[in-house]
Amino acid sequence: LAVKDPTAVERANLLNMAKLSIKGLIESALSFGRTLDSDYPPLQQFFVVMEHCLKHGLKVRKSFLSYNKTIWGPLELVEKLYPEAEEIAASVRDLPGLKTPLGRARAWLRLALMQKKMADYLRCLIIQRDLLSEFYEYHALMMEEEGAVIVGLLVGLNVIDANLCVKGEDLDSQVGVIDFSVYLKSDDDIGGKERNVQIAAILDQKNYVEELNRQLNSTVSSLHARVDSLEKSNTKLIEELAIAKNNIIKLQEENHQLRSENTLILMKTQHHLEATKVDVEAELQTYKHSRQGLDEMYNEARRQLREEAQLRQDMENELVVQVSMKHEIELAMKLLEKDIHEKQDTLIGLRQQLDEVKAINVEMYQKLQVSEDAMKEKNEIISRLEDKTSQINATMKQLEQRLQQAEKAQMEAEAEDEKLKQEYVNKSESLQNEFSQKEKQLLQLETDLKIEKEWRQTLEDDLQKEKETVSHLRTETQEVVNLKKEFLKLQEKNKQLKSVCKDQEAALQELASKLSESKLKIEDIKEANKALQGQVWLKDKEATHCKLCEKEFSLSKRKHHCRNCGEIFCNACSDNELPLPSSPKPVRVCDSCHAILIQRCSSNVP
């Protein structure tokens, strides 16, 4: 037969007792009346059974004076898990007659039953298995499935209305003994099954109504919260609306002020316009009087303009050429400045890299020296350790030889013991003493051997660690060698960059000298331009005929202007041409002063 687990049997018995007590309590309450007092026997038996269920598998907890094993610890946890249980816990702690934790736990169970929330509180406690494991063993009823079944059965107690007086009752000294005679079957119980079915139906209806009531309470609380939030938002919107109305009133007032200011400004501008009209009319009359004298002055100025126009046109053309040259020089200067700035940035970066490489080189050299010193020290340590290992091996061999000798001696002693047992019974005591001494020696030798083996193991571990450090130092030295090679490469690159930089600086000096020459030329041209600023060309409308042949200009006879004397000739009269190195074609020259002629469009040619 398979042996059953005693804790499982205990759990099954407690579950059955809980079923019987809850069933008997509900049936007797429905027959006796829905409201029960604390003196009602089935109710007292129910609390005793619940106390036994909660005590099953409870861990013994050490207190300051003695060992403590009460159910008040796990029940006190419900306060943290279920906020509504805070009232029960506070009222239990405030009761004056309770002195022991067991009495507080009994009072807590009675208050929970009166509240009809015992099942909810214990369900919250069962869900948190990790917290329960501090108070219960792993095989306890509250840690297994039977606890969940009992919590489900406790939901049926919501039908009962209990009116219990906890304040004056002596809960500390009560003895919790289960009365099994209450749960034995009788003939009356068998006959009242139909009545029980009706009672069960009524109970189901009541449970359904209570569950609906709970759901409705939860929905009402959520609706109250929503109403509060909507009221808050409504008040905020009303405040914002009032602020917006105040802003609108302020803006309307500002609009009226701006309109009044606008009308004032219009009136002022109208008055100012009328005054200016009067002034303009007076100025027109004075202008008409002074115009006659101005015409004579204009004719004289016109003659001077004809003479100066030619010179000004020549200077303007030369200025255009010089300005284009200046723009090209400025562009070249900007490009050169950009190149100089870029090269300076590269030079700064290279100097920083050089400094970093030098610092790294110094650090690596110091690390190399430190690693070489460490290598020397570790090589010395390795040699010492090797000597120690050789010594340990020699001692190990000696100990093994001793062990073999001891085993041989033991074998010989055993053989002699057997012979002596057969021959001499009287000498057995002395031989046993010798045998015990030899066993002690053997044990000592074995312990020495173990110590030597542990020592040897530790030395081998130290050797392995030293080998690892040596390999690590070798890798570091290899990295130092690689860094030296990279440093040499960087030095070569630095030399190349320095040579390139010297070439670029020489080129910049040459460009600077050329730029200074061009700037001097531009200043000379500006001075010449300032001297010729007063001269003006002759207008196209006035120059209608050639000075030499006195024929009218047309498409075939184009205008050519002399830079020096300001005379205008046609292309037929100005046949003199001179080749210039700056232009690919020969240039036309004036007949009188031999200056360069400039082609101009005639007045009748678009």
Distance CA 386, CA 409 (A): 34
Residue 243 has what pLDDT? 92
| Tokens read off for 334 | 């900007």
What DSSP line would sit under 214-253, residue for residue? HHHHHHHHHHHHHHHHHHHHHHHHHHHHHHHHHHHHHHHH
Phi-psi region of 70 (alpha: psi -120 to 50; beta: other; left: phi over 0): beta
| Confidence (pTM) | 0.35
Residue 262 has what pLDDT? 86
- 369-427, pLDDT tens digit by residue? 888 888 888 888 888 888 888 888 788 888 888 888 878 887 887 787 677 667 766 76
Residue 174 to residues 101, 107, 481, 575, Cα–Cα distance (Å): 13, 12, 88, 147
Residue 238 has what pLDDT? 92
Q: φ, ψ for residue 177 (rounded to 5)?
A: -120, 130
Distance CA 351, CA 357 (A): 10
Of the CA atoms within 13 Å of residue 478, those in its CB half-sphere come to: 6
Q: Any residues with CB less than 8 A from the CB of 340 and at least 6 apart, and which?
A: 508
Are the C-beta atoms of 530 and 590 separated by less than 8 Å?
A: no
Residue 569's SS3 state is strand
Count of other CB atoms within 10 angstroms of residue 343: 16
DSSP 555: S
Distance CA 111, CA 105 (A): 10
Residue 75 has what pLDDT? 87
Domain range annotation of the chain: 6-173, 545-605
Residue 602 has what pLDDT? 40
Residue 249 has what pLDDT? 92
Distance CA 605, CA 556 (A): 10
Distance CA 383, CA 389 (A): 10
Give every residue of the chain whose pLDDT is below 50, as ranges.
1-2, 65-67, 578, 580-582, 600-606
Instruction: Output the average pLDDT for the chain.
Output: 80
Residue 563 has what pLDDT? 58
Residue 606 has what pLDDT? 28
Two domains, one topology: 6-173 and 545-605? no
Phi-psi region of 149 (alpha: psi -120 to 50; beta: other; left: phi over 0): alpha
Second-level CATH architecture of 6-173: Up-down Bundle (1.20)
Residue 601 has what pLDDT? 45
Residue 424 has what pLDDT? 63
Q: Kindly report the CATH number that applies to the domain delimited by 545-605.
A: 3.30.40.10
Distance CA 65, CA 247 (A): 76
- Using the structure block, give the residue that is written with the tokens 């297994």: 144
- 266-301, pLDDT tens digit by residue? 888 888 888 888 888 887 888 777 777 777 777 887
| Tokens read off for 429 | 């005591």
By DSSP bridging, strand 161-162 and strand 35-36 are parallel
